[in-house]
């Protein structure tokens, strides 16, 4: 996404107007502390050698070790990873957890690799980065097209290099090797807590609300499942192949759709296979058109820059709940705000993932593990407290929720930088 970092900097300068920050701190916040680009060589199954481009951006560690996901995606690039690392800095500060911000990526289409090739790619990435990561330096986690298995390979490779088990080097691991209970659904659960608070403030009745979710991966699927269980009507879903929109009066059941997707490999074109089809009326739409359908709550949960200056005028939702990172461009933000559409910002909405990652890291360091209800009750209190703090800033300064979150977060980061004498 070519403009991701420019967009992040626009959001930063919008929020900075409401703060008194020393110019030298402002200047430092505009550049990552470290941006690494490196070769990730992989021996392919046919014996040939292929080199992929790897990145890790360590943006700011004033409040704690760098923290942020690792994505395997064909269009990943340094600019995008830089933006995501900046947003992680803001996100950790927004919810007040003691981490800075980082992000990693490899420019690769993981769908074209065998499992063994994917494992070798992951291990090669860790070998290249080993000096720069660690429980007190930089702690990666899952993101687009990486999962607990990839995190397990990261933990294993790093532990082999060190000569001892180091689960706290990465979060989002399988529970068998120190993953936290609840981590797999944490992002969606956190987003759901935020939506629940927001609809109370806006006096919107969940039972009468129609929801569209773009993206049917870890974040999007679990969110749709939780929303359905709470009585919201799920009227639109999509994955990378395209979307489906429910006919009049129909609410999709994300769990049965996921079963079909797992069987058939994709959602688009396969929804109407087997018994579910007999009961459900739907039509196929492109990912672009999906966003423009009539609904109450639009949930982008796939990629950056989905709502832009071009299509923002056609968005019909009352709420945009940003489960994905950076789905709304600054131009779109202005248009949505003018139309009175409430945008619940990514740095708050999807912060449940990094919050439970923080819990995982704490549990790993203590070698003492919590129950799932303990995890979710701590998650809920952090999400609800953060939502109320941001709501308060937005009301008192008469600004939108994104700017309010940035104001709160930049204030925390810049104070940490100042007190450390940066």
Residue 301 is classified by DSSP as: -
Residue of 239, 292, 296, 400 interacting with ligand NAD (CB under 6 A): 239
Q: Is 323 in the site for ligand NAD (CB under 6 A)?
A: yes
* CA 383/CA 388 separation, integer angstroms: 9
Residue nearest to ligand NAD (CB): 217
Residue of 78, 212, 219, 390 interacting with ligand NAD (CB under 6 A): 219
Annotated active-site residue in 67, 103, 173, 261: 103
* CA 152/CA 231 separation, integer angstroms: 36
* CA 299/CA 70 separation, integer angstroms: 22
The per-residue b/e assignment along 21-50, b for 16 or more CB within 10 angstroms, e otherwise, is beeebeebbeebbebbeeebebeeeeeeee
What six digits make up the tokens of 178?
Answer: 């120190």
Residue of 218, 329, 363, 403 interacting with ligand NAD (CB under 6 A): 218
Closest approach of ligand NAD to the CB of residue 101, in Å? 12
Binding piece for ligand NAD, criterion CB under 6 A, among 21-29, 139-147, 250-258, 399-407: 139-147
Q: Is 350 in the site for ligand NAD (CB under 6 A)?
A: yes
Binding piece for ligand NAD, criterion CB under 6 A, among 202-210, 233-241, 385-393, 403-411: 233-241
Q: Is 325 in the site for ligand NAD (CB under 6 A)?
A: yes
* CA 71/CA 302 separation, integer angstroms: 12
Closest approach of ligand NAD to the CB of residue 187, in Å? 4
Partners of 238 in beta bridges:
214, 243
Q: Is 143 in the site for ligand NAD (CB under 6 A)?
A: yes
* CA 330/CA 334 separation, integer angstroms: 6
- The Cβ-side half-sphere exposure at 9, using a 13 Å CA radius, reads 15
Query: Residue 364 phi/psi, 5° resolution?
Result: -65, -45
Comparison of 16 and 95: residue with beta carbon closer to ligand NAD: 95
103 is catalytic: yes
Rule CB under 6 A: which residues touch ligand NAD?
A: 142-145, 187, 214-220, 238-240, 287, 301-303, 323-325, 350, 353
């Amino acid at each position: 996404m070519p403009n991701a970092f420019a967009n992040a900097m626009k959001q930063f300068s919008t929020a900075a107007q409401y703060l008194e920050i020393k110019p030298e701190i402002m200047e430092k916040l505009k550049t990552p502390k470290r941006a690494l680009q490196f070769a990730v060589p992989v021996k392919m199954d046919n014996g040939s050698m292929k080199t992929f481009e790897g990145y890790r951006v360590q943006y700011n560690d004033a409040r704690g070790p760098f923290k942020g996901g690792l994505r395997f995606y064909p269009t990943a690039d340094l600019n995008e990873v830089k933006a995501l690392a900046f947003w992680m800095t803001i996100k950790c500060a927004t919810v007040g957890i003691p981490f800075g911000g980082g992000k990693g990526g490899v420019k690769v289409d993981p769908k074209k690799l065998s499992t063994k090739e994917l494992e070798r790619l992951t291990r090669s990435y860790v070998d290249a980065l080993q000096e720069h990561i660690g429980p007190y330096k930089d702690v990666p986690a899952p993101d687009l097209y990486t999962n607990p298995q990839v995190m397990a390979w990261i933990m294993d490779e790093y532990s082999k290099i060190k000569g001892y088990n180091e689960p706290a080097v990465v979060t989002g691991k399988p529970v068998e090797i120190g993953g936290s209970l609840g981590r797999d659904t944490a992002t969606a659960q956190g987003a759901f807590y935020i939506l629940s608070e927001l609809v109370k403030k806006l006096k919107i009745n969940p039972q009468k609300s129609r929801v569209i979710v773009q993206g049917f991966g870890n974040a999007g699927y679990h969110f749709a499942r939780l929303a359905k269980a709470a009585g919201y009507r799920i009227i639109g879903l999509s994955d990378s192949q395209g979307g489906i929109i429910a006919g009049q009066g129909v609410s999709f059941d994300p769990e049965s759709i996921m079963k079909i997707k797992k069987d058939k490999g994709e959602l688009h074109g396969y929804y109407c296979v087997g018994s579910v089809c007999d009961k459900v009326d739907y039509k196929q739409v492109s990912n672009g058109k999906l966003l423009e359908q009539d609904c109450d709550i639009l949930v982008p949960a796939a990629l950056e820059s989905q709502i832009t200056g071009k299509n923002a005028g056609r968005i019909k939702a009352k709420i945009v709940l940003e489960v994905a990172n950076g789905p709304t461009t600054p131009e779109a933000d202005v248009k949505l705000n003018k139309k009175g559409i409430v945008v619940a910002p990514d740095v708050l909405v999807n912060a449940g993932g990094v919050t439970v990652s923080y819990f995982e890291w704490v549990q790993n360091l203590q070698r003492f593990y919590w129950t799932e209800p303990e995890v979710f009750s701590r998650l809920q209190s952090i999400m609800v407290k953060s939502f109320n703090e941001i709501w308060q800033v937005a009301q008192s300064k008469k600004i939108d929720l994104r700017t309010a979150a940035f104001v709160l977060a930049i204030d925390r980061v810049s104070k940490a930088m100042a007190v450390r004498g940066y």
